[in-house]
Amino acid sequence: GCCPLSPAGAQTTQLLVEPPWTPAALWDRVTLTCQGSGTAGATTWYKDGRRWWQEGPDHFIVTESGTYTCDRAGTGRSPPMRILNERLVLQVPAWALLEGDTVTLRCRG
């Protein structure tokens, strides 16, 4: 199968994390941003698989560990993002990586 990544211009919902490393660490003051071309202001957030914040903002600073996804009307649900509450976290860049890319790992605590 060709092309596991969405083709350019595909209508998808993305969950961006800042700083851009995954899994994210709770002590890092992580901001999650839901990006989709759906209706602005109509973001539904899910935490650990349960609806957690309806008609929420498109971004916020995370204060609880867990696995987050967001849903934008029109573009659907994003891939999940894990936020860990652990003292030591091994992280990889949060942007799309392709086979053959050089990857920098971060071990942070």
Residue 75 makes CB contacts below 8 A (sequence gap 6+) with 11, 12, 13, 36, 37, 38
Residue 95 clears pLDDT 90, i.e. is over it: no
Convert 47-77 to b/e letters by CB count within 10 Å (16 or more is b). Answer: beeeebeeeeebebebeebbebbbbbeebeb
Q: Which two tokens stand for residue 75?
A: 């573009």
- pLDDT greater than 90 at residue 23: yes
Superfamily of domain 14-108: Immunoglobulins (2.60.40.10)
Kindly report, residue by residue over 24-67, the tens digit of the pLDDT: 999 999 999 999 876 666 799 999 999 999 989 999 999 999 99
Spatial contact of 35 and 22, defined as CB atoms under 8 Å apart: no
Q: What is the pLDDT of residue 36?
A: 83
Percent of the chain past pLDDT 90, that is, above it, reads 64
Higher pLDDT, 58 or 3: 58
